[in-house]
Structure 1
Amino acid sequence: MRRLPVSRARLLAAGLVLLAVASAAAVGIWLQFGERQALDTRYRAGGTSAADRVDITASVQRVDAAGRELVLRVLVTPRGSLGEAGGISPTRTLTLQTSPSVRGDLTFPAHSRIATVDVPVALTAGSITDYPFDAYEAALEFGAVQGDEPVPVRMTLTNSDALFAATVDAYQADGAAVFGIDLERSTSVLIFAVFMMAAMWALAVAVLIGAWFLITRRKGLTWPALGWMAATLFALAAFRNTAPGTPPIGSLLDYIAFLWAESLIAFCLITVVVMGMRQEAHPSEASQGSP
């Protein structure tokens, strides 16, 4: 079989490396573009064209999975004869009637400037202990009443939390804008969490191989190796706490990788120390038993 010249083989290897790097970068850009498009997507309900209406702009600012709620930032703008100075204030007291998952109705006094309001919304289904595969649901419903009379509503909803991907079902029911929101971890969070789990297992296996080498070769107390093992043991805990969304201890991430990796590394470290102490205490037996 004819072999390629060394120079051509190196060029081929360099070309393959560059191709792999370019492919990984292209996939990363494609994934980032998809997430950016999802964050820029606007969901609309209550597409009324009436001049006298209430426009509602809402965005999901933050999803608190541990507290089982999301924070919705709401801006209300009365249009036509319902508002003054281009919608800065309502001509009469304006009340937004919300669904049970939203913490109370919103009331804006007549002739008073309307400001943005952060509204907590309760999440249903899902559990944060399923991290990073946890998913949640939320139901939003906004209707408007001004002067004891219902008024048309047009609402726009966006998602500004980059840690979660939102799938929204928007429609109108009985003059109110209704949104059914399904929330799950974004692609970037999933990729990073899976990488964390793979890295934890890889480090644990590396420590296991190092411990096996030290014990079978009767190396005794090799302090640089012991320092590396101990540093890995504590570094994994800090690495685990960098998980996006700060999941609590006891999540799926821990039971799949972290707890087992920590246990394996601690076991290897203790075993190497015990066996090393025996060999350091009886060096003659160690030398007689070595080949």
Structure 2
Amino acid sequence: MTSSTPARRRGRRAAMVGGILALVLLYVVVVLLYASGGRIERASVASGGSGQPLVLTLTPADVDGAASHLTLRITPGPDLGSYSSDQFSMDETVHVLVTGTDGSRTITYGADEVVGAETVTLTLDGFIEQWPFDRYTTDTMIVPLREAADGEGVPIPYELAVDGRVPGWNVTAQAVELPAMATEDGLITTLGVQFTITRAASTIAFGVVLLTLMVIAPVLVLTAAITVYRGRRKIEATMLGWFGAMLFATIPLRNFLPGSPPIGSWVDYLIVLWVIAALIAGLVIFILAWLRSGPAGVAAAESASGAHVQGDRSDADAGSDGGADS
């Protein structure tokens, strides 16, 4: 007995130290994943043709999985080339055709007008119900055009560059070359970009940790309720408040998931629903134990105790009578 006690204490200390190290390691991993996620590797592609190309920088600014939208900022520059005399405006009117939005959109930069960034919203193809493993794709074609004498739009040499950072998301941009067109500037290839968007590893880790904590809560509740029901621990009515708090904290925790997956996502069917069911089951078990320990239960316990004491007295009297007879 004496030798096993120190060994047991050492085992508990080792388990505690191991748990603390695991939590620290998990914390470091989540922080590193957040710091390294969200960046977009700069990519560029040129259309060809003679003359200085017009540079259009595409910067993904925001991703809305619920609305299936990608907010994209289009910025001319940093060098407007032959289309600018002061590096701030166009020498001639240029129309930038953008597809993949809610209908095709044209951005117009007027001659001698100061140009700046324009924001467009691209439509994504994907399902947020698959959170946090949802994946979205979209294709966009971007072509700058000048007005010809007959009023038709003629492509001009240009270059598309993708850069930026979207926290919480991994964005991959792949250039797409479309059929070339013969113009007075030479053969110009129309360009497009295909975006592939997934959740960052830090977001997935955040969601997994939060869902794990949600699963631990009903395990603790059921353990406490079953222990009380079996009579191994004393019933305390204040525990009902703790059970209720655990139950009502489930929905706020679920709504705290990054990316706000809508109700009806797979996490609701596989985890959240059963967490709530387990919490209610633990509450029911505790209530049954509490009812069983009511006045009827106390009276039964007292009668059983009285019978036990009476039996002990009878045995004692019998023993004394036997001693007297002897």
TM-score, reference length from structure 1: 0.83
**1:164 — aligned with what?**
169
Q: Shift in Å at residue 25 of structure 1?
A: 6.3
Greater C-alpha radius of gyration: 2
Letter in 1 for 2:244: A
Q: Distance in 2 between matches of 1:278 and 1:171?
A: 72
Alignment of 1:1-291 (within 5 A): 24=26, 27-28=29-30, 30-32=32-34, 34-35=36-37, 39-46=39-46, 48=48, 51-77=51-77, 79-86=80-87, 88-101=88-101, 103=103, 104-124=105-125, 126-147=126-147, 148-173=153-178, 174=180, 175-217=189-231, 222-282=236-296, 283-285=298-300
Native 8 Å contact 2:222 2:281 kept in 1 = no
Q: Secondary structure at the match of 2:293?
A: helix
Native 8 Å contact 2:53 2:81 kept in 1 = yes
Q: Distance in 1 between matches of 2:109 and 2:304?
A: 87
Q: Distance in 1 between matches of 2:26 and 2:70?
A: 34
Q: Distance in 2 between matches of 1:17 and 1:67?
A: 40
Paired residues, what number? 281
Q: Shift in Å at residue 150 of structure 1?
A: 1.3
Change (3 A) 1:24 1:266: closer
Q: Which runs of 5+ in 2 are unaligned?
A: 148-152, 181-188, 309-326
Q: Shift in Å at residue 244 of structure 1?
A: 0.7
Q: Shift in Å at residue 159 of structure 1?
A: 4.5
Native 8 Å contact 1:42 1:157 kept in 2 = yes
Q: Shift in Å at residue 242 of structure 1?
A: 1.2
**2:314 — aligned with what?**
none
TM-score, reference length from structure 2: 0.75
Change (3 A) 1:258 1:284: same
Query: Percent identity among equivalent residues?
Result: 23
Q: Which runs of 5+ in 1 are unaligned?
A: none
Q: Deviations over 1:155-179 (max 9, x none)?
A: 1113422121122222432322211
Letter in 1 for 2:215: W
Change (3 A) 1:286 1:205: farther
Q: Distance in 2 between matches of 1:15 and 1:208?
A: 26
